[in-house]
Amino acid sequence: MPIARVTRRVHFSAGHRLHNPDLTDDENRETYGLCNNPTGHGHNYDLEVTVEGEVGPETGYVMDLKRLKLLLEREVLADVDHANLNLDVDWLSGVIPTTENLAVAIWRRLEGGLPGVTLVAVRLWETDRNSVEYRGR
């Protein structure tokens, strides 16, 4: 059976503030710059999720990408789209919502809910120039 990888891309908008409560205000400003704005700031994120598995002989699919889209909508987008990541998302409580930490948290939300395929990568684009890829290590 051939093995292939497929990727689904979704989009969401969210706000956040990068702030470590264990640092002083000066240390936070030095570390996070404008991203430490006390009233926060926002991004238009693109999320790519890649899964791998056998190409089904009956469907020709590794996974129906509509099913992957619905899973992403339910497990991720329903919580993060147009949300304040610091205040509104229970599964980010106590986490500094950097793109790196957000990618890891999204992986953890998805890793047990993909029967028949293997989660390979979560890539989160914060801007057109900046992205993070997490592969579960």
Residues taking part in catalysis: 35, 82, 126
Q: Compute the distance between CA of residue 82 and CA of residue 14 in angstroms, rounded to an integer.
A: 5
Instruction: Render 49-99 in DSSP notation, one character per residue.
Output: EEEEEEPPTTTS-SS-HHHHHHHHIIIIIHHHTTEETTTT-GGGTTS---H
- Determine phi and psi for 116, rounding to 5 degrees: 85, -10
The dihedral built from the CA positions of residue 85, 90, 94 and 95, taken in this order, carries a sign that is: negative
Residue 16 · residue 40 · CB < 8 Å = yes
The radius of gyration computed from the CA coordinates of the chain, to the nearest angstrom, equals 17
